[in-house]
Amino acid sequence: MTAALRHYLIITGNYWAFTLTDGAIRMLVVLHFYQMGYSPFAIAMLFVFYEVFGIVTNFVGGWLGARIGLNRTMQVGTALQIGALLMLTVPNPMLTVVYVMVAQALSGIAKDLNKMSAKAGVKLVAGAADDQLFKWVAWITGSKNALKGVGFFLGAMLLAWLGFQGANLALALLLVLGLIATLTLPSGLGAMKEKAKFSALFSQDPAINWLAAARLFLFGARDVWFVVALPVYLVSIGWDFEWVGAYLALWVVGYGLVQASAPALLRGNKRGVGVHTALLWSLILIATPLLIWLGLIVKLDPSWVVTLGLAVFGAIFAINSAVHSYLILNVSSMDKASMNVGFYYAANAGGRLLGTVLSGYAYQTIGIEGCLLISAVFIGLAAGFTLQMSRSLMASQH
């Protein structure tokens, strides 16, 4: 086994362990607090700090990784997630909104430190070969999302078996193993020879700025229905918690498998994978929330319309996401990989924040149908920004 492959497997393994806890904690909080009588909007508010601190962390984390090494930022992120999980093991009376928001803030910092470190680390260990880079980034992203789906199911099952506090303790113990594995990574992975300046946090490349804007609205389009609206809607039409967890788990597993398979699915493209690929699949994606909305308006069986429609949405979205994740690494130079990835995933976290808040508020005010229409508008905006990226790249080549 080459050193590059060994380091890639360590990064991926820790990312997997982290992802299981991240998916599980999301499902635990949504279901436990809905069970305690919280409104959909109040539940959404529990995740606001998670997303806000994720934005800040991506900005600062990319700069920090360039200064101290991605191995260190990954270890700090993993340790913070263990702390966040342990915070949620206190008795129910202590689980106030503010307390849970603080725990989610720690978890948001942890998740995005870990994510930035893993994605930028792939760029460094994969080398300059575009084909290998696309395969490795698609695999780490796709397998991570498949495991996040397993995490949703795991969270629902642990809630039923161990209760909220016991489930969080079990997840913290699991993550200790991931932290131990990262101690074998080389010191200073990805650190710049010249210390990165704080002003370099903001990308100076117009193409990266347009791609980040597209990413913001792409993920806002997903989370506006996925985070709060969908699980609460499914419970409201009679689904049990276990069935909700199982469906969301299956959705994310399928999404991850398609994402990991994206290089094979797009292999026949004669032009190769590029910005044109992201634009095409964004335009295809717009149709799915509109068709689901139409099915609900004409009073088709909501369980079938929503579950099958969102399965199609997930498959198309997965290809979009895989191409986007490849593009940010492909257009970034080696020495600026961690900072560009940090900036890009700050936009990603911004989209999740926007989608999360709207998911609770829009569902409470205009229902699942309104969430789907907002999703379609956001995808249209993402397609427009992707087109601008294409024009920016063409202009820079002339």
164 pLDDT higher than 90: no
Query: What's the confidence (pLDDT) of residue 193?
Result: 53
Of 230, 317, 169, 219, which is closest to residue 44 (Cα–Cα)? 230
Query: What are the tokens at 181?
Result: 């594995």
Q: CA 109 → CA 33, 59, 200, distances in Å? A: 22, 11, 20
201 pLDDT higher than 80: no
Query: What's the confidence (pLDDT) of residue 154?
Result: 84
Number of alpha carbons in the 13 Å side-chain half-sphere of residue 237: 16
- Residue 217's pLDDT band (boundaries 50, 70, 90)? very high
- Residue 42's pLDDT band (boundaries 50, 70, 90)? confident
- pLDDT tens-digit readout, 336-382: 666 777 777 778 878 888 898 888 888 888 988 999 999 999 999 99
Q: Are 218 and 369 in contact (CB under 8 A)?
A: no
Cα 387 from Cα 369, distance rounded (Å): 28
- Residue 294's pLDDT band (boundaries 50, 70, 90)? very high
Query: What's the confidence (pLDDT) of residue 48?
Result: 77
Query: What's the confidence (pLDDT) of residue 250?
Result: 83
In total, how many domains does the chain have?
Answer: 1
**pTM metric for this prediction:** 0.73
218 pLDDT higher than 80: yes
Mean pLDDT, the chain, integer? 81
- Residue 200's pLDDT band (boundaries 50, 70, 90)? low
Query: What are the tokens at 144?
Result: 């991570």
234 pLDDT higher than 70: yes
Of 148, 145, 157, 364, which is closest to residue 240 (Cα–Cα)? 157
Q: Are 388 and 210 in contact (CB under 8 A)?
A: yes
Domain that holds residue 88: 3-397
Query: What's the confidence (pLDDT) of residue 333?
Result: 58
Specify the higher pLDDT residue, 44 or 105: 105
- Residue 384's pLDDT band (boundaries 50, 70, 90)? very high
State whether the Cα torsion 76-78-83-87 is positive or negative: positive
Specify the higher pLDDT residue, 64 or 79: 79
Q: CA 230 → CA 35, 242, 272, 357, distances in Å? A: 16, 14, 35, 14
Q: Are 107 and 43 in contact (CB under 8 A)?
A: no
Query: What are the tokens at 397?
Result: 């080549």
Of 351, 348, 349, which is closest to residue 327 (Cα–Cα)? 348
- pLDDT tens-digit readout, 312-340: 999 999 999 888 888 887 776 555 666 77
Q: Look up the CATH number of the domain holding residue 54.
A: 1.20.1250.20
